[in-house]
Structure 1
Amino acid sequence: MTLYKQLLQDYNLFKEEGVSGRYVRYADIQILLKKLGDEFLLEEIGESVLGKPIDGIQFGSGKIRILAWSQMHGNESTTTKAIFDLLNYIYKYKKEAFVISLLEKCSFYILPMLNPDGAQAYTRVNSNKVDLNRDAQDLSQPESRILRKVFEKFKPDFCLNLHDQRTIFSVGNKPDPAVLSFLTPSMDKERRIFPSRIKSMQLIAKIVDDLSDLLPNRIGRYDDGFNINCTGDTFQSTQTPTILFEAGHFPGDYQREETRKYVFLALISVLKAISEKSFENLDYNKYQAIPENKKLFNDVILRGVNSENGIVDIAIQYKEEVKNKELVFIPIIEKIAPKISRFAHKEIICENKKITINHKSILTENVIVNKIALNGVELQFKCE
């Protein structure tokens, strides 16, 4: 635990300042890739549908082989930022005992951005409108085929499948946002637990042990429903222990700059556990004890407004869009009801004040919110 507290305290010493925010494109990481130290072997391993490079980074000389990939979904960039933090850390502390041991025991292959077209467009899918994480069997897309080729050639002992999740997720039924969530994908429809899956359960349990004091009640477990078309499920079915990372919402952190710190710590935790084999004696049932994610959050809820619809609650959810090369958060009314039982990242108690939205007193759902007024006074609220 002392290690992770110290890393969190020292984070700015190795944070990659060249990449930030949610809108991370290939152009943003291209400069970072070019300045990687000699310890890292960079190679272009293929191209996206639109001809953007897809790169692989290799380092380490050990027998334990670890494959990781990020931004399979173009609008999920937090783990990409954490990957570059990790590379900075390894370079900066390459003479420290832990990093020396890590590089002697493990070999790494990292794809920092599998879907550069989706990253540019800030979409989940690639430019052919295909979700790469549902293309593991058909391999209809060049990006999917590139990942599979790397998997088959590198023959990893462990896989790290790195993603973001939406702001809607809570840790269990409590009003705690899921800052980090993890999943060991199922290997079949029965979700049976084979020895290789036990390893990934133990590793996740170790991450939670290492970080729970730093993120109390904010680490969740993602649903393990089986879908062989998903990459994690496919790789897990080959008896390769696979861990899905989900970077979530830290309060007030819509740019995911706080969350990236904890993703970095989770990466250090899992790599340390693998290299030292410190996970092997852990009770894998601790994984099942991690609270499962629930979809219980809205971004904003206005409580008790006086409207033409009566006294109601109003739930607002942000839609993310790129406009003029910048990411914007567009507030949209998701639900109007006498009582909304969900939690909110920002809750506004309105005390039965009369409300108008966009100068209208009759409220409707699925409307973009441009202006809110309570008793005629404009309410200032923003994405925070």
Structure 2
Amino acid sequence: MRTLESSYILSIYNQVKETSISGRWITLNHLKRVFSKYDSNEVIAYNEIGKSEENRPIHQFSFGNGKRKILIWTQMHGNESTGTKAVFDLLNYMTIAKDEFSTSIFNNCTIKIIPIVNPDGAEYYTRVNANSIDLNRDAVDRSAKESQLLRAQLDEFQPDFCFNLHDQRTIFGVEGTLNPATLSFLAPSEEITRKLTEGRKRTMNVIVAMNKLMQTIIPNHIGRYTDEFYPTATGDNFQKLGYPTVLIESGHYPEDYEREESRFFTFSALIQGIAHIASAENFDEFEEYFTIPDNSKNFRDLLHKYSNRQNEAFQYEEILENNKINFIPKKVTDDISALFFHKEIVFED
């Protein structure tokens, strides 16, 4: 199987992008029209698998007949919607495209996708669920219904690989460059020493494949998220249980606060990762993972530059008001001398 190429991804995307959803605020209500497309779909099946704390339905989509099993979920944090948009683009791709990649994926993989694990948080555009629980820090206690549901799906399905899709803040840049971290990847640690276990190596192997493609599409915009061990985090615990878990953090691209460009990049990385899993003979090579630059917290959103007084920096706070996400600038009080900015405005005093 040949490697995916950037020109092909670009050519196919206009055909498969799910145009009924866009922007940052994505809820179950926004997805009603999308769901209806799959009521009688011959390729994609979906069903309700549980309820949220406020009794909103949680759904699972599935396709494929292969032996390699992949579990994907999005919006553990309700205000991180880029992955949700990307997985519906992926579902369209699997339905519409009749190419060697989709055929290989369908024949060699069985894939389950849970979009919007946290529908209550999505409704209110919050990181936490209706009981103020961060689902991504609830993997041990599993005090939330949503955490229990995700773990039950993991235990029942026993996937060979997982993809955990998140959004990262606009503060992250790619170390050694002047670029924001538009995508960041992580092979989560299993314990505090960050030992290179076999599961982590397999995860890194998939990330290496994704990074190779993405460097041809957005070179030097790819970072490596910190692998500090979080004892209660979902990815860390799933990895510890023996399920290689790829973390994708969708970030900022210039002039893309709606994350529509990032959506395309996330879709591209996801397709590449799944196609690699479908076709790889082994998952032994992982060393190139460590050539991906680290994330740096070296960006802020806005700089006001003055000729005769001290410059001012601002970071946007995202507020849901009147069914719209507003970006409210909040002044940065830290030292800004070593920071980069997504936008600069020059004021002539």
Q: TM-score range by the shorter chain?
A: over 0.9
Deviation at 1:2, TM superposition (A): 6.2
Q: After TM superposition, list the pairs within 5 Å mapping 1:208-357 onto structure 2.
A: 208-277=211-280, 280-282=283-285, 284-306=286-308, 311-335=309-333, 340-350=337-347, 353-354=348-349
Write out per-residue CA displacement over residues 229-273 of structure 1, whole angstroms, 9 at most, x where no aligned residue: 100000000121110000000100000001111101001110111
Q: Distance in 1 between matches of 2:307 and 2:334?
A: 10
Offset of residue 336 of structure 1 = 7.2
Q: Which residue of the other structure, out of 6, 9, 12, is the alignment partner of 1:10?
A: 12
Runs of 4 or more off by more than 3 Å in structure 1?
none
TM-score, normalising length: structure 1: 0.87
Q: Distance in 2 between matches of 1:294 and 1:96?
A: 38
Which of the residues 2, 19, 38 maps onto 2:42? 38
1:331, distance to aligned residue in structure 2 (A): 1.1
Match of 1:114 in 2: 117
Question: 1:173: Cα distance to partner?
Answer: 4.0
1:72 is displaced (CA, Å) by 0.5
Residue 286 of structure 1 aligns with an amino acid whose one-letter code is E
Q: How far does residue 279 in structure 1 lie from its aligned partner after superposition?
A: 6.4
The size of the alignment, in residue pairs, is 345
Relative to the length of structure 2, the TM-score reads 0.96
> Is the 2:86–2:267 Cα contact (8 Å) retained in structure 1?
yes
Unmatched 5+ stretches in structure 2: none
The code of the aligned residue for 1:325 comes to: N
The whole-number CA distance in structure 2 between the counterparts of 1:279 and 1:181 is: 24
1:70 aligns with 2:74: yes
Looking at structure 2, the residues matched to 146 and 80 of structure 1 have their Cα atoms a distance apart, in angstroms, of 18
Q: Equivalents in 1 of 2:334, 2:251: separation in Å? A: 26
Change beyond 3 A, Cα 1:176–1:278: farther
Structure 1 residue 153 corresponds to structure 2 residue 156: yes
Answer yes or no: is the 8 Å Cα contact 2:201–2:284 preserved in 1. no
Distance in 1 of aligned mates of 2:307 and 2:322? 35
Q: Distance in 2 between matches of 1:5 and 1:267?
A: 16
Q: Is the 8 A contact 1:186 1:236 kept in 2?
A: yes
Larger-gyration structure (1/2): 1
Distance in 2 of aligned mates of 1:165 and 1:209: 21
Unaligned runs of 5+ in 1: 355-384
1:58–1:108 CA contact under 8 A, matched in 2: yes
Counting aligned pairs with the same residue, the percent is 43
Larger relative contact order (Cα-Cα within 8 Å, sequence gap ≥ 6)? 2
Letter of the 2:248 partner, please give it: F
Indicate whether 1:181 and 2:188 are aligned. no
Aligned-pair CA distance for 1:15: 0.5
